Amino acid sequence: MTEPERYRLDGGTEVVRRRGSLLLVARGSGRTVRVSPVAADLLPLLQSGAPFDELSGRLRALHPSAGVVEPKLRAFLRTLGSAGLLHGQEEARRARGRRYPLFAADACARVIARPLRALLPGRVAPALAGAMAMASLALVAQLCVEGRLPGLRELAEHLHWAGLSLFAFVVVPVHELAHAVACRLGGIPAGQFGIVLHGGIVPGPYVDTSRSYLLADRWRRFAIPAAGPFVNLLAAGIVAAVLLYAAPPADCVPALDTLLFACLLFVYFDTNPLTASDGSHCIEALLEDELARRHALLPRSRLPTTADARAALRYRACAAAHLVLSLALFYLWAS
């Protein structure tokens, strides 16, 4: 592949300082690249546009002891290009999927967030959310201990259309709306609600939360992706409570079992750090590195100079812990 004549930052690129780090952010997608002090010396040239030879010459002039700079410079420019930060090099859409916006989610999110902010000020909201999540886990565990949670194979073989419909048309939209409400609670507007074709084929809803980079507090950025899996887990807890204490009619139990199965399964998939999921975005927010998943999946020898090796290592630890816990839970459920 031939190199472009000049490398120039895209017009939608914003420079943000956060916790002593210098970040380049693509306003349209929210993709972020941390810039090292050495790479920061290139920003004036990249903002106006410069050929590769001029960029490498600038590095050699400012850092004569750096040795061979060309491979590291190419890796840095590839990172910028893959994040959609270079003019003419859009971020690969195949991984993100093709998006079809339908309507603005912010108006609805603002209506819901206003009373929540008034009723749950300060740290009350995250404490309450944590308590509700633990209660949901306890209810599902009680259902399992009492032997009233059908086996994984049995559930997969006897899926009920009503349970699947409730999940698709109630839980999933509320999941996406929760992302928008979390944006508003954090103090930023939510974007469009629409349909995304994953891999260009599989449809699913989405809410644009790309402006979360505006939040300096990592916990507020964490709350935006975490709101979705929280809704799935809360729905699973509600279904478990109904099965345990409401004595539903026998003909409703298969639908509730299917709904519980779908909620729990999507809690797993939506928190899987190995994919670009809400879980991966949660970890990246806490690590202050929006490319931590991508870097964690690379061998150490291929990490770009902009990568935080410690963040990549911590991300791998989180992914390993999620995998071990998930395998243990699925083994117990399937046995």
pLDDT digits (tens, 9 = 90+) for 33-62: 878 777 888 888 998 888 989 988 888 888
Q: Is 194 found in the same domain as 147?
A: yes
Q: What is the predicted pLDDT for the residue at 1?
A: 45
Is 208:109 a contact under the CB 8 Å cutoff? no
Domain boundary at 66, 91, 116, which? Answer: 91
User: What tokens appear for 270 in the block?
Assistant: 């939506």
Domain count, the chain: 3
Q: What is the predicted pLDDT for the residue at 108?
A: 93
User: What tokens appear for 70 in the block?
Assistant: 């060309």
Q: Is 293 found in the same domain as 158?
A: no
Task: For residue 6, tell me if it sits in a domain.
Answer: no
Q: Is 310 found in the same domain as 256?
A: no
- For residues 114 and 15, the model is more confident at 114
Helices (H) and strands (E) in the chain, counts: 15, 6
Task: For residue 63, tell me if it sits in a domain.
Answer: yes
Rg of the chain over CA atoms, in angstroms? Answer: 23
Does residue 293 carry a pLDDT above 60?
yes
Q: Which one, of 161, 213, 205, 215, lies nearest residue 185 by Cα?
A: 215
Of 142-151, 163-172, 300-309, minimum mean pLDDT range = 300-309
> Long-range pairs for 266-272 at CB < 8 Å and ≥24 separation?
266/167, 266/229, 266/232, 267/229, 267/232, 267/233, 267/236, 268/326, 268/330, 270/228, 270/229, 270/232, 271/229, 271/322, 272/322, 272/326
Q: How far, in Å, CA of 77 to CA of 80, rounded? A: 5
* C-alpha triplet 2, 83, 183: angle, nearest 5°: 165
Task: For residue 51, tell me if it sits in a domain.
Answer: yes
Task: For residue 5, tell me if it sits in a domain.
Answer: no
State mean pLDDT over 190-216: 84
Task: For residue 68, tell me if it sits in a domain.
Answer: yes
State mean pLDDT over 224-231: 96
Band (pLDDT 50/70/90 cuts) for residue 98 is: confident
Task: For residue 1, tell me if it sits in a domain.
Answer: no
182 is in which domain, residue-wise? 98-267
Q: Is 228 found in the same domain as 145?
A: yes
Does residue 91 carry a pLDDT above 60?
no
Q: What is the DSSP string of 86-113?
A: BTTBPPPHHHH-EEEEEEESHHHHHHHH
Does residue 264 carry a pLDDT above 50?
yes
State mean pLDDT over 64-82: 80
